[in-house]
Structure 1
Amino acid sequence: MSSLTVSRFPALLKEHPDAVAAIVCGILVFLGWITLQSGWLGLALLILPAAYVIGGYESAREGLTTLFEEKELDVDLLMIVAALGAAALGLWRREYDFIVDGAILILIFAISGALEGYAMQRTERSIRGLMSLTSDTARVWRNGQEKEVAVADLQIGDKVIVRPGELVPTDGLVIEGFSSLNQAPITGESMPVEKTIGDEVFAGTINGNGALKLKIHQPPESSLIQRVIRLVEQAQMEAPPSQQFIERFERSYAKVIVIVGILLMIVPPFLWGWSWETTIYRALIFLVVASPCALMAAIMPTLLSGIANGARQGILFKNGAQLEQIGRVRAIAFDKTGTLTTGNPEVVQIMAASQSEQQLLQVAASLESLSEHPIGAAIVKFAQQQQIEWRSATNVQAHAGQGITGEINGQLAIVGKAAFVCSQVNSWANTLTASAQHFEETGKTVVWAAYAGKPLGMIAISDTVRPEAASTIRQLKQLGIGEIVMLTGDNERTARSIARELGIEQVYSELLPEHKVDVVRSLQRQYHTVAMVGDGINDAPALAQASVGIAMGTAGSDVALETADIVLMADRLERLVNAIRLGRRSQQVVKQNIVFALGFIVLLLIANFVSQITLPLGVVGHEGSTVLVTLSGLRLLKR
């Protein structure tokens, strides 16, 4: 062994203790077998116990901890008991090869643990790669000079400088500069995205050739990448229902194995005339081959691999249960604005009643400047482009699915749907009704405004359909999704116009948030597993009600992101298709693993009593099936 290897041994032991223990155990087992074959019994009886201790220490510790703290049996303890039983049998019969058999059991169990640990580390490395996307420091412009500060010390309002080629340290709004950013590490977008003044950039993205100055608009811990890391860490900690069931099954199963093993040590000599040595040896092999190690490894490696795969594609699963659920989805409800459409509507027409268009825009912008709705943002943007000035409204209140009200100069101002505004005014602008109907029939949204009890007019707003929306709907149908519906608070004409363009037959329009929940419940009664895709605050109740709630990651509100089970990071709707395929693939792999694990246990049990397999061969079959099942789960790491 070279001096370099010796010097690195402490680091290797710290990084890969299971692998080091397995290697040392293997060397000792080999030396013990050599000395035994050479007739050096005393030396062999010193070396082989050392192999038992080094290779079996971790399993014994975990098994005893589970026994004394949780009052439960697990497979680690069963393996140790089987190995010690083989050693005791060898000493009793003076057939010392049995001691070697027990040592080989310990060795193969240690190798299996090391391989499983390596397999899980691959998954964890893929997920924890997100951590490398975070920067520890940022360059801030304070008091007329540039300073380098810790990202954790950044405050809202700070101005951060990002030079060409650097990692963006935290989310922010561009206030100076122009550049193309590589957002692939965060959103999965393959092409760089151009960013200029007013655009939001995300922590963990890589700046291109231009220098940028950003303004921090939210705390660093609220950045997109930090939310992703927290959610992925939570997903790793939470076991899905199927895994919880397997864990409960394992504990009951282990008790049954112990009881049956004890019976096998006692009954055969009386019923079939077996010798006690043969009976005990067969019972020990039974303890090994009947242990559910492969069954325990059938689910979590697969689901964690699927979560890691999804994260690389810009699909964030909050836990393994949702990866399972998305594969079972048979009906999907889509919100319209911001989900099937871009959520960036623009004002295309203004029609005033008796007052001027300027007053109409002043009142509408005064209220909508305090709203988070994308339609309100479009009105405010248009008013700014027209250089309209407005007074700040007071007592502003949003009415979900209806509109917004407030007071301007002590008078009531209303902006929203026709029915909502009409109910608050003394007279109605009937002359504009025909024009409003025409706009709605062509897929535009019409917003009405009133002030001091009089109608001011209407604003026609158009939202563009996402380029990938129609193909996504078509692919979902090809996947066998039984029902696809669109939910919107918009009017029926606008909703149906967009639905026709996308190929969606079922439309529910003019819905309040609670109505969207009712539709999802109705779908669940018919299809059981239903997904809801949305982005706004008013989608949150339906996202929570759905079997699987899916939020648009970039455009989605904080409430929608927290409520949803799955987040599409780049607002790329077509990744919903990838998520469903990944969910179905994970289901297939889990089922294959379970069938393989159970089948191998049955074959080994039959071989134990029919073919009289040896203890090492039983261990090889048992641990080999566990490793194969674990590696099978890692197939989901590939796209």
Structure 2
Amino acid sequence: MLNSLNLPQSRFLSWSRENSDAMAAILCAILVSFGWLALHLNWVGLALLILPAAYVIGGYESAREGLTTLFEEKELDVDLLMIVAALGAAGLGLWQREYHLIIDGAILILIFAISGALESYAMRRTERSIRSLMSLTSDTARVLQKGGEVEVAIANLAIGDRILVKPGELIPVDAVIIEGYSTINQAAITGESIPVDKTIGDEVFAGTLNGNGALKLRLEQPPESSLIQRVIRLVEQAQNETPPSQQFIEKFERGYAKIVVIVGILLAILPPFLGDWNWETTIYRALIFLVVASPCALMAAIMPTLLSGISNGARQGILFKNGAQLELIGRVKAIAFDKTGTLTTGQPEVYTIIAASGKSETEVLQIAAALESYSEHPIGQAICRFAAEQMTIPTVSEVQAHPGQGIKGQLNSQSIVVGNLNFVQFLIPELHPELIKQAREFQQTGKTVVWVICDNEVLGLIVIADQVRVNAVSAIASLKKLGIEHLIMLTGDNKETAESVAQAVGISEVKAELLPEDKLYLIRQLQKQYGAVAMVGDGINDAPALAQATVGIAMGAAGSDVALETADIVLMTDRLEKIATAVELGRRSQTVVKQNIIFALTFIVLLLIANFAGNITLPIGVIGHEGSTVLVTLSGLRLLRG
């Protein structure tokens, strides 16, 4: 019973601690209301006791920040200007016994406190979806040992540990499936809305949700190297960095605040000598000037927008390392792509099977897979993966590997061989001309051809190729539709293979057989021609070009650690179509920032005109000033949508 009675109280205390700015605004509002009521009832003494408390509670945080900036950085900021204006109104009211001016100053403090609370709420909402990444990490994993299952802290896991993940559980670490089959919901990490089928040999990511199957995993990298941990570190970095546009605005604010103070002092002194204003009107208008001329809305024009864009990107599997990259990606005019691992999967797969006359494709594949099951070569593994999906692989004996050439063995007393053309020709000098012709045609387009022999008779060919990514064609088409002026492939692979892949995905210009320094040089040339250039890559050899590019984009899952550290944007899902999404997000952010700046400056000018025309009071000026700040902040949150 006691617990149930204390629960609402504890929730309130917890909320009030997390929302101290909102609590200050609420208390300030209550005190201002009582002070206003006391004055209207002519209880001046009570009002003069209540209203100072409203000033202190509502203005404490602004005064603290303003004085800290003044004494530590020797700079003026808008917080201090607001406090000076409020205290000036109170002083003028006491001097002239115009106590409504004390209420005006209290209302200024109150509205400024409410505005600060609303801005804090908006910023918390902006960052909430990014911070939610933290909750995706498990504290422990269920490790399989000889004695059974043991709960082990993630930090204490070692490479090689076998981990059990039951249905419906979060996967605790990046690992490889060694037993089991399930569907994995990767939406939180990669932005994919449809669960992905995973089985033996597939990699799974920490923070993704296991479906209906139990999985046994093997840890193959330190837990701190997992994708989710890299994402969290990069997000923390992004939140702590200030983009160039915001740095400019902050620098502008410091100079602008000094000008406002100087002009405010002149307005408080000169009009009685130069015009027909009395001292009360002069000081009152100077105080309103301090309020409406302050660049609060201008300060809020950029960061909420960029943080909203970063949050939106993270939800879609696009990680911007800081707000500057969100700005720059929207200005990109040319994009260079690496080939292997970027436009292609970077993993050899069976492209086609050609059976010799009188033989079947099934027979060719089964014989090849039987031998290659003993091989560690990527080509052999590709053949075995392909065969395992369709048939049972027989067991062979007397296996002999010939590195760089092929592999031999015995199957049911038959001698079988899998290898390249030179290896096969050594065994069978007279090969069918048509098969040789087909093999060479495939090789000219960058594919690898494996010959399969049984008892000195050619069964057929298996063609292996690095496959183009599923969404590469649509990704390139989307970028062209967005008006990107130039798309080019930069690769170290041979010209024939590069041109074949480029033609398949829709890229017209190819630079092949490049060293890392060649890619770097070409990026510099593109920058001279187009200005803002993006580079998309995944390997160590792409790192110099990624660093040189205006915006470096790395493939998150397939990319090397060097590429991920060097790049400015990481595609967590390796889906190339997300590049177009990033460009659109960058362009939208620039549009919203420009709209916010224009709106903020326009509102400042209108309020200044209204002040000098003598048509607004201090509370109206405060409402206009703070209202424009809140509107600009909320405008920036539009990027959270879509």
TM range (shorter): 0.7 to 0.9
Q: Which residue of the other structure, out of 236, 240, 245, is the alignment partner of 2:243?
A: 240
SS at match of 1:561: helix
Correspondence for 2:110: 107
Whether contact under 8 Å (1:347, 1:379) holds in the other structure is no
Paired letter, 2:604: I
Does residue 378 of the first structure (1) align with residue 372 of the second (2)?
no
Whether contact under 8 Å (2:319, 2:569) holds in the other structure is yes
Correspondence for 1:590: 593
Paired letter, 2:180: G
Whether contact under 8 Å (1:445, 1:491) holds in the other structure is no
The separation in 2 between residues aligned to 1:526 and 1:627, in whole angstroms, is 41
Question: Displacement of 1:191 after TM fit?
Answer: 1.3
For structure 1, the 5+ residue unaligned runs are 351-360, 370-375, 394-430, 448-457
Question: Displacement of 1:199 after TM fit?
Answer: 1.1
Correspondence for 2:358: none
Correspondence for 2:606: 603
Question: Displacement of 1:382 after TM fit?
Answer: 5.2
Correspondence for 1:579: 582
Relative to 1, partners in 2 of residues 1:248 and 1:128: Cα closer, same or farther, differing over 3 Å?
Answer: same
Question: Displacement of 1:440 after TM fit?
Answer: 4.5
State how 1:487-526 maps to structure 2 within 5 Å.
487-526=490-529
SS at match of 2:346: coil
Relative to 1, partners in 2 of residues 1:604 and 1:173: Cα closer, same or farther, differing over 3 Å?
Answer: same
Correspondence for 2:266: 263
Question: Displacement of 1:611 after TM fit?
Answer: 3.7
Whether contact under 8 Å (2:446, 2:494) holds in the other structure is no
SS at match of 2:216: strand
Question: Displacement of 1:346 after TM fit?
Answer: 3.0
Question: Displacement of 1:443 after TM fit?
Answer: 5.0
The separation in 1 between residues aligned to 2:275 and 2:549, in whole angstroms, is 59
Deviations 1:281-336, CA, capped at 9 Å, x for gaps? 11100000000100110000000000000000011111110000100000000111
Query: What percentage of residue pairs aligned between the two structures are identical?
Result: 72
Deviations 1:484-523, CA, capped at 9 Å, x for gaps? 0011112222222222222211111111111111111111
Relative to 1, partners in 2 of residues 1:379 and 1:267: Cα closer, same or farther, differing over 3 Å?
Answer: farther
Deviations 1:152-209, CA, capped at 9 Å, x for gaps? 2111111111000000011111111111111111111111111111111100000011
Does residue 176 of the first structure (1) align with residue 179 of the second (2)?
yes
Does residue 187 of the first structure (1) align with residue 190 of the second (2)?
yes
Deviations 1:453-495, CA, capped at 9 Å, x for gaps? xxxxx99741221221112111111111000001111222222
Paired letter, 1:530: V
Whether contact under 8 Å (1:32, 1:47) holds in the other structure is yes
TM-score normalised to the size of structure 2?
0.85
State how 1:31-430 maps to structure 2 within 5 Å.
31-346=34-349, 377-378=378-379
The separation in 2 between residues aligned to 1:604 and 1:93, in whole angstroms, is 26
Correspondence for 1:558: 561
Which region of structure 1 is more displaced relative to structure 2, 527-536 or 498-507?
498-507
Whether contact under 8 Å (1:445, 1:494) holds in the other structure is no
Which region of structure 1 is more displaced relative to structure 2, 460-469 or 520-529?
460-469
Correspondence for 2:363: none
TM-score normalised to the size of structure 1?
0.85
Question: Displacement of 1:44 after TM fit?
Answer: 0.2
SS at match of 1:344: strand
SS at match of 2:164: strand
Paired letter, 2:477: R
Relative to 1, partners in 2 of residues 1:24 and 1:389: Cα closer, same or farther, differing over 3 Å?
Answer: farther
Question: Displacement of 1:441 after TM fit?
Answer: 4.2
Correspondence for 1:615: 618
The separation in 1 between residues aligned to 2:441 and 2:550, in whole angstroms, is 38
For structure 2, the 5+ residue unaligned runs are 354-367, 388-392, 405-432, 451-460
Correspondence for 2:357: none
Paired letter, 2:51: L
Paired letter, 2:64: R
Correspondence for 2:533: 530
Paired letter, 2:279: W
Question: Displacement of 1:389 after TM fit?
Answer: 5.5
Whether contact under 8 Å (1:162, 1:211) holds in the other structure is yes
The separation in 2 between residues aligned to 1:153 and 1:293, in whole angstroms, is 48
Paired letter, 2:206: A
The separation in 1 between residues aligned to 2:350 and 2:122, in whole angstroms, is 54
Relative to 1, partners in 2 of residues 1:379 and 1:517: Cα closer, same or farther, differing over 3 Å?
Answer: farther
The separation in 1 between residues aligned to 2:436 and 2:310, in whole angstroms, is 51
Deviations 1:321-355, CA, capped at 9 Å, x for gaps? 000010000000011111111222236699xxxxx
Question: Displacement of 1:391 after TM fit?
Answer: 8.9
SS at match of 1:291: coil
Which region of structure 1 is more displaced relative to structure 2, 578-587 or 493-502?
493-502
Correspondence for 2:641: 638
Whether contact under 8 Å (2:600, 2:629) holds in the other structure is yes
Does residue 469 of the first structure (1) align with residue 477 of the second (2)?
no
Whether contact under 8 Å (2:348, 2:382) holds in the other structure is no
Deviations 1:34-80, CA, capped at 9 Å, x for gaps? 00010100000000000000000000011111111111111100000
State how 1:6-21 maps to structure 2 within 5 Å.
8-21=11-24
SS at match of 1:191: coil
The separation in 2 between residues aligned to 1:297 and 1:188, in whole angstroms, is 29
Relative to 1, partners in 2 of residues 1:4 and 1:137: Cα closer, same or farther, differing over 3 Å?
Answer: closer
The separation in 1 between residues aligned to 2:488 and 2:59, in whole angstroms, is 57
Question: Displacement of 1:213 after TM fit?
Answer: 0.9
Paired letter, 2:379: A
The separation in 2 between residues aligned to 1:583 and 1:71, in whole angstroms, is 35
SS at match of 1:165: coil
Paired letter, 1:377: P
How many residues are treated as equivalent by the alignment? Answer: 571
